[in-house]
Amino acid sequence: MEKVKDCCCNEGCKCTQDLSEAQKISIIDDFINDYKSKEGSLIQILHAAQSIFGYLPIEVQIHIAKSLNKPLSEISGVVSFYSFFTTAPRGEYTIRVCMGTACYVRGGKKILDRIKDILEIEVGQTTADNKFTLELMRCIGACGLAPAISINDKVYKQVNPERLNEILTKYYE
């Protein structure tokens, strides 16, 4: 369990990727037992579960609801409210296109459209090879060097549509 609490993985816990579903549920149960008596721990528990599974399937939400003696509607409400949580498997890499004012004005929409064309997916979808998930962001914090995108934790600044193939190719190597 300590391995998951102190996990160094960024997107989806690689420490648990080879575990069975039952083993993953057992880790979540340990986490729930450690945190359920603490007020406001639901989000921490959901973060841990998503880190373990890579997303929050309904079966996991039901398990968490039963374990915390809470209605499923409360768990699902939190999951659907916060954009960080997802109920569908995500790609190995999450591309976030900044659509803040500076990025939008400087071509963010063109960047988004080009990524959608290259990857053949829409916002919120994952490529067929599970390599990329596409999302929008309000602001990356690189306004002076807009437009910007991020792929997992790496920020790319002054992106233009022609540069996208070069950027994405790096993730297939």
pTM of the model: 0.68
Q: What is the CATH number of the domain that holds 149?
A: 3.40.30.10
Question: What are 59-94's pLDDT values in tens digits?
Answer: 999 999 999 999 999 999 999 998 789 898 889 999
Residue 87 covered by a domain: no
Instruction: Examine the domain organization and report whether 100 and 136 are in the same domain.
Output: yes
Domain that holds residue 11: 2-81
Indicate whether 86 belongs to any domain: no
Residues whose CB is less than 8 angstroms from the CB of residue 64 and which lie 6 or more positions away in sequence, other chains included: 28, 32, 45, 46, 49, 70, 75
Identify the band that residue 54 occupies on the pLDDT scale cut at 50, 70 and 90. Answer: confident
